[in-house]
Structure 1
Amino acid sequence: MDSVSINYARTDTLNETRILPRIGAVYDLTDRISAFASYSEGMKANPFTFYAGSPKLEYSRQAEIRVKFDSGTGLSGSLAAFRIERENVPVTNPTDPFMLTSIPEGQQMSKGFEADLVWQPSGPWKLIANYAYTRAELTADIPNGAPAGSTLPGVPRHSGGLWLDYDTRTADSEGWRVGGGIHAVSSANIDQMNLYKTAGYATIDASASYTGDRFSVGLFAKNLTDRNYFTPYYRYLDGRAARGEGRKILLNGTKTF
């Protein structure tokens, strides 16, 4: 792999060849339940990172097990468990007083599970729910920085949402569709040393659209209540947070000729 990184008048070239296996399999347990398992490895460069010293290629290993089901009565969903390991991840240089440079010393591991449910009985109603639990942490000390076991910045432990849809569109796709829901996340650390973190928050979104003969129009609202919240800032400037996106109203339309 060749990577050229041009940052602040600096160029770095990396050369390495490695076999990266990928394997996956699906097995139907019953007519309505299936299981999936996969394993893969990856390698990549981070060309837009300003390294304090020599860069390294980042390696990753990922394993996942997923079970999907369809009850045949309008309820379907999936449950998955995963584990991701990463090596040579760029992290903020602890010795840089301006926190603008990185060092390729991050050894990280993320594991958890995800659950998705869809309930769609006969009629126009549809309910979608999802939840994710993620434990992401350093697996090795950062030299002169955060110790192993520190939680990774910007990764909430809990996240999920609930969305209710009312769809009156006919077989030819004409009619109204209205929906609304909530998205919530727990607190997240914003620095490698885990000294600061953002608070958990929840936002409400909504949408309404109408599809007619060869045209459609839709109105979408994000963060409908204009909830004030903060999210971790760019990975440079370690330990900063930025205000989350406020209320946003979008109107769009399409016409087919």
Structure 2
Amino acid sequence: MSWLTRVRERLPFGAKRETPDNLWVKCPRCQEMVFVKEYEANLNVCLKCDHHGRIGTDKRFSQLLDEGYELLPSPNVTEDPLRFKDTRRYTERIRTARASNPHPDAFSSAFGAIDGRKAVVGVQDFHFMGGSMGMSVGDSFIAAAQRAIDENCGFICVTAAGGARMQEGILSLMQMPRATVMVRRLREAGLPYIVVLTDPTTGGVTASYAMLGDIHVAEPGALIGFAGQRVIQETIREQLPEGFQRAEYLHKHGMVDMVVRRHDLRDTLAQLLDYLSPAKAA
């Protein structure tokens, strides 16, 4: 028996306390460890480098909408229409995604108010299969836009996606023109369509409703583009500039109207709704 063991037996040491393993979060940009409570109180923005972390649907709704908003029902669509299977069946992937997500698919919407201004807000969640766009996402977007038309209010779409959902093939790509038609109907109704681009917004989502807004707002540092940087470099055989496809670069080159910190996003959207919404009848 070692001397350390003998000392431990004689001294009144208490039982080892269990320490929660979720007290800290590592910032993916600066690699600093940030206290979770402080991180969440700061709207999931790093206190050291101001990196805007990815957040889920419910957090986004609570940050943007006034209390008492109405969550719109999710559409019923045919699941696994192509009976797709790669290393796993598509139905198994959906079940896995739903097990760790409070919503049945990547796009959810709610009707409520932003600082007293009526609005429908649609949120795309990257945590659900990379926010990929399938038939459910397309139907949810269309239903949210139609609700905005029915309520005569603005529609705000918060995007975060890796593109179209490959497990639904051509059916996922069909959601691009369907969403485009709904954006046109919003425009014909004289209602504002505001897009909030978050990290990351790529692929077919960028090629459709993410870039059709009346106003495009981006969170700082968000990755926004169609094809990946490596694919573009290999195609054009040139080195891309620093910060290419990031929100600040796109703002400088005219593809994004403004880059807004998450702390100021709610107030900014309320102001935009004031400017763009139809005038009330006297």
Bin the TM-score by the shorter chain. Answer: under 0.3
More helix by percentage: 2
Task: Considering Cα pairs closer than 8 Å and 6+ residues apart, tell me whether 1 or 2 has the greater RCO.
Answer: 2
More strand by percentage: 1
TM-score, reference length from structure 1? 0.28
TM-score, reference length from structure 2? 0.26
